[in-house]
Amino acid sequence: MSAQTRTDRAFTATGESCKEVNWSREVLQRAPNIAEACQEVMQRDGKYYVKFQGEVERVARRGQELTVAFKGGDTITLNPPENLTVIMDDRPRPVSALRPGDQLNFYVPEDRFTARFAAEDASPAAQPDVAIAPAPSQRVAAAEPPPETLPAAELPETAGSLPTIGLAGLLLTALGATLTVIRRRSRSM
């Protein structure tokens, strides 16, 4: 396998301060505000790690897809294996048991853009890598204003009183026919 190049790395660090971390162009394209989300930089086993804190926004596919909002940064999607456990409240907890609102601490190693979950006093180097995918962009459709309600158009008066006179004549004719039928029945009885 070839030696890792600078562009393969998630970041380079020159010290243990968030200001001393230079993120790779690829990482900045996937998470533009990642520098603001940095909580701490630490060195373990000769490798730098950046610590992040985030709030779980969504748990899908029995924990295999976690959407996490960085504290002070972007929203990302983590794809942990189903059997992974994380330490929360000093106890191991399966990722499938996480709920929206849970707070997570995770670490990104300098050599690749992945997440590792570890307790505060444990080394992240001993933990498995969890793939990081950019969260799907949530486009909010601009709400169109409702169309203005126009007043009903008034129709022009094209008919005069002639239809009313015709209707009155028709009703009087029907009344006359009804009275004639009643009169003839009463005579025949």
- What is the amino acid identity at position 107? Y
On whether residue 147 sits in a domain, the answer given is no
Whole-number Cα distances in Å, 104 to 52, 60, 66: 8, 16, 11
On whether residue 163 sits in a domain, the answer given is no
Q: How many domains does the chain have?
A: 1
On whether residue 123 sits in a domain, the answer given is yes
Separation between Cα atoms, residue 86 and residue 114, nearest integer Å: 15
On whether residue 25 sits in a domain, the answer given is yes
Range of 75's domain?
A: 6-134
On whether residue 94 sits in a domain, the answer given is yes
63-101 tens-digit pLDDT: 888 888 887 767 888 888 878 888 777 788 888 888 899
Separation between Cα atoms, residue 113 and residue 110, nearest integer Å: 8
H-helix or E-strand containing 37? helix 34-37
- What is the amino acid identity at position 141? A
**Other C-beta atoms lying within 10 Å of the C-beta of residue 9:** 19
113-172 tens-digit pLDDT: 888 887 666 667 667 778 887 545 433 333 445 556 667 777 677 767 788 888 889 999
C-alpha angle 68-69-74 in degrees, rounded to nearest 5: 120
On whether residue 14 sits in a domain, the answer given is yes
